């Protein structure tokens, strides 16, 4: 598969999902980029904006297995990873895989589970494997965790720790649709659209194609000037006075991976600063911790990242 | 006793004094001949026939003339109209306070804006003068051409056309990669100049492309952007033919005359509105069809017909040119209208003392202080001697005046009594001298009689019959001196204790043009005066009279602060300084408190919770504050507790040395608190009991329960 074929497949996947999830083209693209870049996605948005629908449509489009985990305060780690159960017939313990053993895992309202349960996802997200009963079990490839959280409610929630936030490649914001888009959604439902029945979606690619796409993206050329630009952006988050904790080098790597996918999705075999800039907010917004004073003044991470993007010089070779 | 004749000293004073000797006659022959009055008999005064209604305050102050002016019934009628009571605007007082602060703020913004504009202008000038920095503005690094013998003269690096020429030169030199970059730079710069985008160092080529709304231009630039990106970041150079094609596209773009349709700026949009407002509301000037009693049309007509040149002041009063120069001017100053600052007052006094000639009108209380002091201290002996000699001469030439005409009490009269007194003494017409001596008895009593001849004493006595210094030129109907001539140093000041004389209403009165003209001639005359048969005094030449305007009495500010103070912004400046100090300390305190180096990794969350708790406690939201704090505290405790501990309250009590039962009880109360529950009143007390314990625990070293 070359860059052009990559771009074609990418566009087909995007169109397929966008036909179901109306008016969220940027969100769909972000999800696809994260998947091909082998990253995990944190979706933040109010209930009812189609986060679950998006994950399900994505799983169906890519022909991957899909599991959903509703996080609750009493959810145990073993409820996610699975546990060993004594098999009376065999007279031995046998491992029953949990819902984590799927290619697309939707962790709905992830911040409702306590930290101990949340951390059960860490190993799976970082290594692509699960340890249970002293045995490490490999998860299927590709493996993508799509976690959702509601930014409004704080009652009975456990904010994700910074270490776990860093595991997500991108944090995508699910915004309310515009009036026209909302009208299209209502019209579709009036015409019989059933979000629980997505059987009409046919897979555009299979899991192996996704893996191949990842390999293609990894071959995209990145000029030193562009690498310098990525590093500059990340380092600027550490020098910003309103940011208490800047992004880590992992953020630079994340920028590299996602920018490569964006370039490939446009049929290019090289990354431009524009690709980096387009992914910067999604990559950085959950990796910076604002100063308390800045938070009290209503400043958001996106504001500071915008400012950094506005002031950082773009490299030019000539 | 014969006095020596001090010719050198008296020469400058002879002219004015000669006039004094003639004025009496002039006043009595005024009704028959003076040409200056004839000008006003040609037509009825517009303000008499069609006065403005209602009259303004300055116009109403001239109503005293109304009953004495011929054919001026309409003006009289207008004067009889009651003054409309001002509307009750007391309800606007609170708004005025707000408006005052808003105006102060706007003034501050205006000052900042002015400084910003100056700063931007200076920066632009500096940038324009530094050619090497110009390419950086475009965000595109422009590579200078290597100079060689065949190379043309260096091309300017600024502007789309210049960059295009440079790109062509690079292509011709066989450097297509650099030429391609320059073609893109030329295209972007040209689009910037046309208003389609704004070049910035932080913009990517893709952003430039997306910023171009014009589809034609976007279509032209897109392939160039792709080629440049491919060459710069993909290491795939374009061929010379491709670059040439891109060059053609760039050239077409640069040469295109199309420009973006920019939205009108607020300033441009405001212009028509302002013009409309001016048309509808006028600009505050007098309506010419009415004419104004307080206008100056008659004054201008009078002076132009009589050969006097009156112009606005060409120099500020503080920097008048040398009065001894050939082109020295006489200055006309209305002290009521043109207030003088101290420095101008000092400079004007020095100018007069050095030989300047000043016609000073306005109420004496508003005269410049230093000048008034110099006038009061002036020595009049020279005047007196000269007056004596001239009075003799004039008295022989001109018959005694007739006194049959009785002027109105508020009218100005040329002071003939000086002449009568002087001539009377000189020519033994003692009845005049006795009459005047009787009238001025009080003045004589209050002043030491002069040691010189009685004639001088008599003149002196009358000269000082009022509280004004100098030699009287004009008196009022009640005998008070209205105008006088004062010598200050080698210069003279003609004082007029009012400013109405030069208004239309005053000049319409039959006697007053002669008075006004005489005063102007005395102030501006040069050389020796001649006395005509009609008694009018004339000089061979006159100085140009420059009339001071309202703003001529104040010097320009030497610095911005002085300008603000002169504009009456002293109090706003103090307010601004106080606010700036408060902001400075408030901001500095906050920034000082938030030193990132001293923060631990969870400080943001902890401070956020504490700040919220404090806010809710202050707002008496006890249940919410307690419930929030309890959640936070439990999380902190559980994070700190060893694995063997299960009860946060028990752990807290043990670690802080408190009674476990008590702590468990209030801990339970805290953790069970619902944010929406009605307040019981003990929430803040519990919070104040538990919070210090948690703080103490946080600052103590961690230990286990085992």
Residue B600 pLDDT greater than 70, yes or no: no
Nearest by CB to A314, which of B180, B203, B604? B203
Q: Read off the tokens for B390.
A: 């001239």
Confidence (pLDDT) at A279? 92
Smallest CA–CA distance from B176 into chain A, residue: A318
Is the backbone of residue A121 left (phi > 0), alpha (psi -120 to 50) or beta? alpha
Q: What are phi and psi of A244, to 5 degrees?
A: -80, -40
What does the DSSP assignment read for B36-97?
Answer: HHHGGGSS--HHHHS--SSPPHHHHTTGGGGGGSTT-HHHHHHHHSPPPPPP--GGGHHHHH
User: B195-208 burial, b if ≥16 CB within 10 A, otherwise e?
Assistant: ebbebbeebbbbbb
Q: Report d(CA B177, CA B189) in Å as an integer.
A: 18
Q: Is residue A14 part of a domain?
A: no
Q: Read off the tokens for B555.
A: 């010097």
Smallest CA–CA distance from A309 into chain B, residue: B202
Q: Which residue has the tokens 């003006």?
A: B75
Nearest by CB to B603, which of A269, A292, A318? A292
Which of B3-7, B371-375, B609-613, B627-631 comes out lowest in average pLDDT? B3-7
Confidence (pLDDT) at B134? 40
Residue B641 pLDDT greater than 60, yes or no: yes
Mean pLDDT across B370-393: 64
Q: Is residue B307 part of a domain?
A: yes
Smallest CA–CA distance from A296 into chain B, residue: B608
Quote the minimal CA–CA distance from A292 to chain B in Å: 5
Mutate to test the interface with B, among A273, A276, A286, A309 (most CBs of B within 10 A): A273
Q: Is residue B443 part of a domain?
A: no
B115 upstream amide cis, omega within 30 of 0: no
Confidence (pLDDT) at B497? 78
Q: Is residue A208 part of a domain?
A: no
Confidence (pLDDT) at B448? 35
Confidence (pLDDT) at A259? 94
Residues B219, B335, single domain; the answer is: no
Residues B123, B154, single domain; the answer is: no
Q: Is residue B706 part of a domain?
A: no
Residue B658 pLDDT greater than 90, yes or no: no
Residues A150, A248, single domain; the answer is: no
H or E stretch at B684: helix B683-699
Confidence (pLDDT) at B536? 58
Contacts of A289 in chain B (CB under 8 A): 604
Quote the minimal CA–CA distance from A67 to chain B in Å: 31
Confidence (pLDDT) at B396? 56
Contacts of B598 in chain A (CB under 8 A): none
Confidence (pLDDT) at B593? 54
Q: Report d(CA B320, CA B328) in Å as an integer.
A: 9
Q: Is residue B641 part of a domain?
A: yes
Q: Which residue has the higher pLDDT, B182 or B557?
A: B182
Q: Does A318 touch chain B (CB under 8 A)?
A: yes
Residues belonging to chain B with any Cβ–Cβ distance to chain A shorter than 8 Å? 139-141, 143, 177-178, 180-181, 201-207, 228-236, 590, 594, 596, 599, 601, 603-605, 607-608, 611, 675
Q: Report d(CA B219, CA A114) in Å as an integer.
A: 54
Domain end, chosen from B128, B150, B178, is at B128
B611 and A159: CB-CB below 8 Å? no
Contacts of A317 in chain B (CB under 8 A): 231-233
Mean pLDDT across B442-450: 34
Nearest to A57 by CA among A189, A146, A157: A146
pLDDT band at B298 (very low <50, low <70, confident <90, very high): confident
Mutate to test the interface with A, among B204, B231, B636 (most CBs of A within 10 A): B204
Confidence (pLDDT) at B25? 36
A57 touches A201 (CB < 8 A): yes
pLDDT band at A261 (very low <50, low <70, confident <90, very high): very high
Confidence (pLDDT) at B14? 46
Which of B36-50, B262-276, B675-689 comes out lowest in average pLDDT? B36-50
Residues B362, B490, single domain; the answer is: yes
Quote the minimal CA–CA distance from A273 to chain B in Å: 6
Q: Is residue B520 part of a domain?
A: yes
Q: Report d(CA A98, CA A79) in Å as an integer.
A: 6
Q: Report d(CA B559, CA B654) in Å as an integer.
A: 70
Mean pLDDT across B505-524: 78
Domain end, chosen from A154, A178, A202, is at A178
Q: Read off the tokens for A206.
A: 């299979």
Contacts of A111 in chain B (CB under 8 A): none
Q: Is residue B394 part of a domain?
A: yes
Q: Give the residue ranges of DSSP H helices in B282-333.
A: 297-305
Residues B231, B149, single domain; the answer is: yes
Which residues does A33 contact at the CB level (< 8 Å), separation at least 6? A170, A258, A261, A262, A265, A279
**A residues 63-102 near B, CB within 8 Å?**
none
Q: Which residue has the higher pLDDT, B69 or A275?
A: A275
DSSP state for residue A315 in the 8-state scheme: P
Q: What is the 3-state secondary structure (H, E, C) of B530-574?
A: EECCCCCEECCEECCEEECCHHHHCCCCCCHHHHHHHCCCHHHHH
Residues A49, A141, single domain; the answer is: yes
Mean pLDDT, chain B, rounded, equals 70
Which residues does B19 contact at the CB level (< 8 Å), separation at least 6? B473, B518, B521, B522, B525, B529, B537
Residues A153, A273, single domain; the answer is: no
Residues A160, A300, single domain; the answer is: no
Mutate to test the interface with A, among B233, B608, B614 (most CBs of A within 10 A): B233
Domain end, chosen from A122, A149, A178, is at A178
Q: Is residue B351 part of a domain?
A: yes
What does the DSSP assignment read for A211-268?
Answer: HHHHHHHHT-B--HHHHHHHHHHHHHHHH-TTEEE---HHHHHHHHHHHHHHHHHTT-
Contacts of A273 in chain B (CB under 8 A): 204-205, 233
Residue B267 pLDDT greater than 70, yes or no: no
Q: Is residue A190 part of a domain?
A: no
pLDDT band at B590 (very low <50, low <70, confident <90, very high): low
Mean pLDDT, chain A, rounded, equals 87
Quote the minimal CA–CA distance from A18 to chain B in Å: 22
E strand segments, B160-246: none
DSSP state for residue A270 in the 8-state scheme: B
Which of A107-116, A177-186, B19-28, B620-629 comes out lowest in average pLDDT? B19-28
Residue B452 pLDDT greater than 50, yes or no: no
B604 and A225: CB-CB below 8 Å? no
Confidence (pLDDT) at B705? 39
Confidence (pLDDT) at B164? 86
Q: Is residue B424 part of a domain?
A: no
pLDDT band at B534 (very low <50, low <70, confident <90, very high): low
Confidence (pLDDT) at B197? 83
B204 and A318: CB-CB below 8 Å? no
Q: Report d(CA A261, CA A269) in Å as an integer.
A: 10
Residues B533, B656, single domain; the answer is: no
Q: Are strands B412-414 and B471-476 parallel, antiparallel or unpaired?
A: antiparallel
Domain end, chosen from A110, A145, A178, is at A178
R_g of chain B computed on alpha carbons? 44
Q: Report d(CA B392, CA B412) in Å as an integer.
A: 26
Residues A31, A99, single domain; the answer is: yes
Q: How many domains does chain A have?
A: 2
Q: Which residue has the higher pLDDT, B405 or B525?
A: B525
What does the DSSP assignment read for A73-114?
Answer: TT--HHHHHEEEEEETTTTEEEEEE-TTSSSEEEEETGGGS-
Residues B510, B540, single domain; the answer is: yes
H or E stretch at B547: strand B545-547
H or E stretch at A66: strand A66-70
pLDDT band at B532 (very low <50, low <70, confident <90, very high): low
Residue B386 pLDDT greater than 70, yes or no: no
Out of A176-185, B590-599, B674-683, give the one with best mean pLDDT. Answer: A176-185
Residues A260, A153, single domain; the answer is: no
Q: Which residue has the tokens 């959640």?
A: B631
The strand pairing partners of B412, in sequence order, are B476
DSSP state for residue B6 in the 8-state scheme: -
Contacts of B186 in chain A (CB under 8 A): none
Residues B631, B687, single domain; the answer is: yes
A292 and B611: CB-CB below 8 Å? yes
Contacts of A318 in chain B (CB under 8 A): 140-141, 143, 177-178, 180-181, 228, 231-232
Q: Which residue has the tokens 């670690």?
A: B655
Percent of chain B with pLDDT over 70: 65
Domain end, chosen from B255, B288, B310, is at B255
Q: Which residue has the higher pLDDT, B259 or B268?
A: B259
For the purposes of burial, counting CB atoms within 10 Å of the CB of B173, is it exposed (0-12), middle (13-18) or buried (19 or more)?
middle
Mutate to test the interface with B, among A246, A272, A278 (most CBs of B within 10 A): A272
- Residue A230 belongs to domain spanning: 220-318
A309 and B202: CB-CB below 8 Å? yes
Contacts of A270 in chain B (CB under 8 A): 229-230, 233-236
Out of B265-274, B422-431, B576-585, B639-648, give the one with best mean pLDDT. Answer: B576-585
Confidence (pLDDT) at B39? 44
B419 touches B391 (CB < 8 A): yes
Residue B597 pLDDT greater than 70, yes or no: no
B508 touches B521 (CB < 8 A): no
Residues B670, B533, single domain; the answer is: no
Contacts of A271 in chain B (CB under 8 A): 233
Out of A89-93, A175-179, B234-238, give the one with best mean pLDDT. Answer: A175-179
Contacts of B139 in chain A (CB under 8 A): 313-314, 316
Mean pLDDT across A2-9: 87
B54 upstream amide cis, omega within 30 of 0: yes
E strand segments, B631-701: none
Q: Report d(CA B541, CA B524) in Å as an integer.
A: 8
Mean pLDDT across A57-64: 87
The CATH code of the domain that includes A243 is 1.10.8.80
Contacts of B201 in chain A (CB under 8 A): 313-314
Residues A169, A95, single domain; the answer is: yes
Confidence (pLDDT) at A257? 93
Residues B335, B402, single domain; the answer is: yes
* Pairs of CB atoms within 8 A across A/B: 94
Nearest by CB to A290, which of B205, B236, B604? B604
Nearest by CB to A245, which of B141, B236, B601? B601
Distance of CA B316 to the CA centre of its chain: 16
H or E stretch at B266: helix B266-281
Mean pLDDT across B536-546: 79
Nearest to B512 by CA among B10, B26, B1, B2: B26
Q: Does A232 touch chain B (CB under 8 A)?
A: no
Mean pLDDT across B281-300: 66
Q: How many domains does chain B have?
A: 4
Nearest to B29 by CA among B414, B432, B307: B414
Residues A81, A168, single domain; the answer is: yes
Mean pLDDT across B39-61: 71
- Residue B137 belongs to domain spanning: 131-255
Confidence (pLDDT) at A256? 95
Q: Read off the tokens for B445.
A: 């009593």
Q: Is residue A189 part of a domain?
A: no
Residues B374, B500, single domain; the answer is: yes
Q: Is residue A187 part of a domain?
A: no
Residue B65 pLDDT greater than 70, yes or no: yes
Residues A164, A256, single domain; the answer is: no
Out of A53-67, A228-242, B528-542, give the one with best mean pLDDT. Answer: A228-242
The CATH code of the domain that includes A158 is 3.40.50.300
Nearest to A175 by CA among A309, A54, A307: A54
Residue B617 pLDDT greater than 80, yes or no: no
Residues B616, B544, single domain; the answer is: no
Which residues does B288 contact at the CB level (< 8 Å), separation at least 6? none
Confidence (pLDDT) at B444? 32
Q: What are phi and psi of B491, to 5 degrees?
A: -110, 175
Is the backbone of residue A286 left (phi > 0), alpha (psi -120 to 50) or beta? alpha
Q: What is the 3-state secondary structure (H, E, C) of A121-174?
A: HHHHHHHCEEEECCEEEECCCCCEEEEEECCCCCCCCCCCCHHHHCCCCEEEEE
R_g of chain A computed on alpha carbons? 20
Quote the minimal CA–CA distance from A24 to chain B in Å: 20
Residue B327 pLDDT greater than 90, yes or no: no
Residue B382 pLDDT greater than 60, yes or no: no
Mean pLDDT across B560-586: 82
Residues B44, B108, single domain; the answer is: no
Smallest CA–CA distance from B676 into chain A, residue: A155
Residue A246 pLDDT greater than 80, yes or no: yes
Question: How crowded is residue A97: how many other Cβ atoms within 10 Å of its Cβ?
Answer: 15
Quote the minimal CA–CA distance from B122 to chain A in Å: 23
Nearest by CB to B178, which of A226, A292, A318? A318
Quote the minimal CA–CA distance from B181 to chain A in Å: 7
pLDDT band at A172 (very low <50, low <70, confident <90, very high): very high
Quote the minimal CA–CA distance from A59 to chain B in Å: 31
Nearest by CB to A289, which of B177, B229, B604? B604
Q: Report d(CA B3, CA B388) in Å as an integer.
A: 11
């Amino acid at each position: 598969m070359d860059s052009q074929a990559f771009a074609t497949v990418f566009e087909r996947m995007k169109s397929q999902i966008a036909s179901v999830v109306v008016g969220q083209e940027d969100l769909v693209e972000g999800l696809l980029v994260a998947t091909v870049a082998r990253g995990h996605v944190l979706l933040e948005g109010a209930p009812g904006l189609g986060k679950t629908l998006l994950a399900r449509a994505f799983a169906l489009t890519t022909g991957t297995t899909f599991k959903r985990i509703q996080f609750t305060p009493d959810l145990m780690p073993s409820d996610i990873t699975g546990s060993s159960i004594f098999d009376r017939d065999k007279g031995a313990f046998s491992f029953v895989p949990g819902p984590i053993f799927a290619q697309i895992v939707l962790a709905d309202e992830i911040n409702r589970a306590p930290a101990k349960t949340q951390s059960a996802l860490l190993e799976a997200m970082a290594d692509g494997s699960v340890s249970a009963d002293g045995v490490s079990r490999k998860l299927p490839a590709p493996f993508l965790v799509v976690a959702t959280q509601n930014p409004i409610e704080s009652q009975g929630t456990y904010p994700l720790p910074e270490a776990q936030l860093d595991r997500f490649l991108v944090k995508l914001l699910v915004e309310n649709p515009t009036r026209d888009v909302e009208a299209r959604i209502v019209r579709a439902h009036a015409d019989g659209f059933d979000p629980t029945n997505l059987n009409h979606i046919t897979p555009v690619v299979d899991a192996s194609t996704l893996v191949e796409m990842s390999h293609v993206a990894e071959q995209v050329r990145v000029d030193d000037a562009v690498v310098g630009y990525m590093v500059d952006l990340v380092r600027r988050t550490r020098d910003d006075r309103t940011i208490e904790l800047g992004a880590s080098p992992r953020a630079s790597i994340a920028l590299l991976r996602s920018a490569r996918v964006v370039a490939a999705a446009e049929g290019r075999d090289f990354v431009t600063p524009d690709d980096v800039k387009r992914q910067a907010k999604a990559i950085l917004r959950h990796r910076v911790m604002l100063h308390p004073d800045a938070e009290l003044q209503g400043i958001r991470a996106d504001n500071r990242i915008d400012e950094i993007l506005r002031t950082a010089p773009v490299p030019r070779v000539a | 006793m014969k006095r020596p004749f001090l010719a050198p000293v008296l020469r400058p004073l002879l002219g004015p004094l000669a006039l004094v000797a003639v004025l009496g006659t002039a006043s009595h022959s005024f009704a028959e001949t003076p040409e200056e009055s004839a000008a006003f008999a040609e037509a009825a005064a517009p303000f008499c026939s069609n006065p403005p209604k209602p009259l303004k305050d300055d116009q109403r102050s001239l109503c005293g003339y109304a009953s004495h002016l011929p054919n001026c019934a309409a003006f009289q009628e207008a004067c009889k109209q009651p003054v409309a009571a001002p509307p009750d605007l007391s309800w606007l007082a609170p708004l005025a306070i707000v408006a005052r602060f808003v105006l102060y703020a706007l003034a501050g913004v205006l000052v900042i804006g002015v400084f910003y504009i100056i700063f931007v202008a200076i920066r632009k000038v500096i940038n324009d003068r530094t050619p090497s920095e110009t390419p950086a503005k475009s965000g595109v690094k422009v590579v200078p051409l290597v100079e060689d013998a065949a190379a043309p003269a260096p091309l300017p690096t600024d502007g789309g056309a210049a960059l295009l020429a440079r790109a062509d030169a690079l292509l011709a030199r066989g450097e297509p990669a650099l030429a391609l970059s320059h073609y893109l730079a030329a295209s972007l710069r040209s689009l910037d100049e046309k208003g389609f985008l704004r070049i910035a160092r932080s913009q990517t080529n893709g952003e430039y492309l997306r910023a171009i709304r014009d589809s034609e231009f976007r279509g032209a630039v897109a392939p160039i952007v792709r080629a440049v990106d491919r060459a710069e970041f993909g290491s795939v150079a374009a061929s010379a033919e491709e670059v040439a094609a891109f060059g053609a596209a760039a050239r077409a773009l640069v040469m295109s005359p199309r420009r973006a349709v920019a939205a009108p700026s607020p300033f441009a949009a405001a212009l028509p509105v302002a013009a409309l407002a001016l048309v509808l509301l006028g600009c505050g000037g007098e309506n010419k069809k009415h004419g104004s009693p307080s206008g100056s049309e008659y004054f201008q007509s009078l002076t132009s017909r009589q050969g006097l040149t009156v112009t606005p002041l060409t120099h500020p009063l503080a920097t008048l040119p040398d009065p001894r120069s050939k082109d020295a001017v006489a200055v006309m100053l209305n002290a009521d209208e043109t207030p003088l600052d101290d420095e101008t007052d000092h400079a004007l006094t020095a100018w007069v003392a050095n030989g300047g000639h000043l016609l000073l009108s306005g109420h004496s209380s508003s005269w410049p202080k230093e000048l008034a002091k110099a006038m009061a201290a002036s020595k009049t002996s020279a005047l007196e001697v000269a007056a004596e000699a001239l009075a003799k001469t004039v008295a022989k030439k001109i018959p005694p005046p007739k006194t049959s005409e009785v002027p109105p009490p508020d009218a100005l009269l040329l002071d003939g009594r000086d002449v009568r007194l002087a001539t009377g003494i000189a020519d033994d017409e003692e009845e005049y001298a006795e009459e005047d001596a009787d009238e001025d008895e009080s003045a004589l009593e209050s002043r030491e009689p002069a040691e010189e001849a009685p004639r001088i004493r008599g003149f002196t006595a009358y000269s000082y019959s009022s509280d004004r210094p100098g030699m009287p030129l004009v008196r009022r109907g009640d005998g008070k001196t209205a105008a006088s001539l004062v010598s200050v140093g080698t210069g003279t000041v003609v004082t007029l204790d009012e400013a109405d004389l030069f208004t239309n209403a005053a000049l319409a009165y039959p006697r007053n043009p002669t008075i006004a003209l005489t005063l102007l001639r005395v102030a501006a005359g040069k050389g020796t005066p001649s006395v005509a048969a009609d008694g009018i005094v004339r000089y061979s030449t006159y100085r140009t009279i420059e009339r001071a305007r309202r703003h001529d009495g104040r010097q320009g500010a030497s610095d911005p602060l002085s300008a603000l103070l002169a504009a009456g912004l002293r109090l706003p400046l103090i307010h601004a300084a106080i606010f700036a100090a408060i902001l400075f300390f408030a901001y500095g305190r906050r920034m000082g408190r938030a030193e990132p180096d001293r923060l631990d990794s969870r400080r943001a969350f902890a401070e956020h919770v504490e700040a919220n708790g404090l806010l809710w406690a202050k707002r008496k939201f006890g249940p919410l504050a307690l419930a929030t704090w309890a959640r936070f505290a439990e999380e902190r405790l559980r994070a700190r507790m060893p694995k063997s501990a299960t009860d946060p309250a028990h752990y807290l009590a043990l670690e802080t040395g408190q009674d476990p039962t008590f702590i468990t009880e209030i801990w339970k109360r805290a953790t069970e608190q619902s944010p929406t529950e009605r307040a019981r009143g003990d929430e803040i007390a519990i919070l104040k009991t538990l919070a210090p314990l948690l703080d103490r625990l946080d600052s103590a070293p961690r230990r286990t329960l085992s």
